[in-house]
Amino acid sequence: FLPQFALGIILGLITLRSGSIVPAMLMHAGHNALVVGLGRVPMAELPWLAGLAMGVFGWLAMLAVVALPEPRRPRPAAIAPPGAGVTPGTP
């Protein structure tokens, strides 16, 4: 439960920082490929491979969160006070 929760938080941060869902989708696809790929390898033969792959994926996820710039958000337009732009004597 906790690894999936952490992955969800990281993918959410990536989405917020990038302003797009595409980077999080790519990270999710990479995670799924890693899990399926490691599921096919007998752990008795290559136990170090699982740790290496998870470590590399974890570092890539952390770098993506840290390295992605904050999205630029447009400033809201200034709201004119009531009656602004109305000249006296016009209907």
pLDDT for 76:
62
d(CA 78, CA 67): 32
Domains contained in the chain, number: 1
Overall pTM surpassing 0.75 (yes/no): no
Average pLDDT in the 7-19 region? 85
Domain interval for residue 50: 35-66
Percent of the chain with pLDDT over 70: 69
Residue 61 CB burial class (10 angstroms; 0-12, 13-18, ≥19): buried
Q: Does residue 57 belong to any structural domain of this protein?
A: yes
- Asked, for residue 46, whether it belongs to a domain, the answer is yes
Strand positions, DSSP E, the chain: none
Please check whether residue 4 lies inside any domain of the structure: no
6 or 43: which carries more pLDDT confidence?
Answer: 6
Tens digit of each residue's pLDDT (9 = 90 or more) over 55-71? 887 787 777 777 766 66
In a domain, 76, yes or no: no
